[in-house]
Chains A and B, each alone.
Chain A
Amino acid sequence: MATTACFIIVSRNDIPIYEAEVGSAVKREDVAHLHQFILHAAQDIVQDLAWTTSAMFLKAIDRFNDLVVSVYVTAGHTRLMLLHDSRNDDGIKSFFQEVHELYIKIILNPLYLPGSRITSSHFDTKVRALARKYL
């Protein structure tokens, strides 16, 4: 079943540091822009919601038509945001946890400036593999 999914990592300063279209549906140019717009619009909601709970996984916080935005906030307030149309909550939670581990390994690099773009192609490959596995 073809699923649309757009995944971005946004740093504490509201700058996207990683973006990927990870759905199995055919990628269309016009839809990609819409996905990014929806994710950016959901930022305000995330910022308020993040302070109300000490959990990291915030489940579905916003809807647009039939697309749902799920967010996972790390300790350093880096947001992993996923725009998707499926309802697979457990799969999404596992996906977020695995990407969180990858993200920690990236920031442990002393030469990586926290808040800058993640350019590692290996990271990209692994995220896409995880998306295929869990989503």
Chain B
Amino acid sequence: MAEVISMADIEASAARIGIDLSSINLDSIQLPPGEDFGIQSGDDGDLYQDDPLEFEGGFGNIIVVDNLPVVPPEKFEKLEGVIRKIYSQIGTIREGGIWMPVSPDTQKTLGYCFIEYNTAQEAELAREKTNGYKLDKSHIFAVNVLDDFEKYMKVPEEWKASEIKPYMPGENLQQWLTDEKARDQFVIRAGSNTEVFWNDPRQLMPELVHQRQYWTESFVQWSPLGTYLATVHRQGAAVWGGASTFNRLMRFAHPQVRQIDFSPSEKYIITYSSHEPSNPRDSHRIVINIFDVRTGKLMRDFKGNVDEFATGGSGGVSGISWPVFRWGGGREDKYFARIGKNVIAVYETETFTLVDKKSMKVDNVVDFSWSPTDPILALFVPEQGGGNQPARVSLVQIPGKEELRQKNLFSVSDCKVYWQNNGEYLAVKVDRYTKTKKSTYTGFELFRIKERDIPIEVLELDNKNDKIIAFAWEPKGHRFAVIHGDGPRPDISFYSMRTSQNTGRVSKLMTLKSKQANALYWSPAGRYILLAGLKGFNGQLEFYNVDELETMATGEHFMATDIEWDPTGRYVATAVTSVHEMENGFHIWSFNGKLLYRISRDHFYQFLWRPRPPSLLTTEKEEEIAKNLKKYSKKYEAEDQDVSMQLNEQDRKKRKMLQDQWNEWVAKWKQWHEEERQFRIQLRDGEASDEEEEYEAKEVEVEEVLDVSEEIVADQD
């Protein structure tokens, strides 16, 4: 980038070389052609080098309507009126934007016309809506965008087999998993920079992997297994990855994309955008595309009004809730589903069509969620008919669509579903009205999915009037934590789905009284939990060991807004993002609550750990390792020691170097100082100078006359 020169600088340098700026006509100065005096124009920065701007060229906003009736001149105006009526509903037609050519011989129309809209979006919409429009039996419109004609004309007459490109082995996209020090990566976004780092807790600082300015236009996102980093641009989304650095692997064209979502095993990416309607009375238009991540092929697109995609069933006012499509069926990316009015539409990815070619009808359904591991849907239908029809939670198996289990619930105000991440348990938090209907209280229905007939257990808290502030399952475990209470210092309880004798009963492990916490973050490996007080609690942190039921450490990251465990459960990141004006940045903690390092960044937007694919070890193997941890950890402990010795050595050397350098300076200064001594004394008029001992303490008695008064003393004599 060129150095920015302000007017003030120009004035200053003009003054220095003695030029009166006001006497110069700046416009009259012309540089020799092709000469820029080394000053780069600010326009051609790196910003657009990768993605050249796509200008609106061509005739994208003009459509051609075919199969119009052929009419004589006297009916010309009537036909034009009809066409104008049809097409002005869809968008704004430019002035003089309808042109219907007339045959010079017969003076009759030729059966087609051109319509020019204000925008290409309107033209596209008109093409979609009226292609195949039946004016009457013999006149069915064929509508095309003018730009497409060129494309169709170019289609060669004869089919040629496309060239088969030689196979190029791709990069190892999983390279980062083979890091020798078994470190994890994370991405941060601050200011206009996006940076990927290794978390290096041994060095107590991050190590930069890759950095780019303007890498994304709104946000970045890792794919669920960590293979790709997705960026969002005006033209669409892109995914990045690679063995050593980040290269662009694929682009997905979707103008003005707003949201993206990966399928659980990264096969597909869903992109979403919403467009302002040209007519303010209309609702927003929504475009959703599903791409294959590796090939970039568009698998399916969905277009329509907001209302068609809005959740909340009956009301329909609640707008879009992202993700619109939710992926299910575990790691195979087999099914995805969305909710509509009185239906759940389940699609399968083999054909990208509805399962059984029809949506599943569920009257008044308001919410659904997939089991994280199995193709099982949990549906919630609220109470109907003023309480005559109870609310219902049901589990439905896909693709058979048979109901596995159902539970009716009475006087329900709201329901929320929490799956345990292995899909073993399901907790439904039910808010019920009290008898007076004036207030609500909360209970839990706990489903054991993997057991025969899916037994359901009801759990109520000791004080059932307590408000539930947060709920979280232990990942891969059988425990859950609840924050409950009304006051400013709520309680936290831990429950287990097993008791020591009986595996089929839920039992309470512990209640911690009056904690400053309102959010729960389990370690991804289970066992440890971070109790966090965000927002009103200013970022209080408590690291708790649930096996031993004891607090390991407490800490504070003032005003923390975000907390994320690394995928292995070894480290925790707490961050203050730019929602707060001050002290943006992140802290990295060890799992047991030791603050490892802090990084400050202005305008800090995002912190995301790079996810890891699930472990390939079997459960037995994992248990074996946990049992013989000492044996396995020896190697790493030795490494740790090596590194810390090395670091100490480096540190000592560096300090010594700095100290030597400093001493050198000081010696030089001292020398100068001595040399200049005489001059200094001279400057001080001969007064002996620098050191303290050269001045002597003199005691000076000062007599000051405070008052003089005259008194007449009587003469005694």
- A complexed with B: no
**Chain A residues close to B by CB (< 8 Å):** none
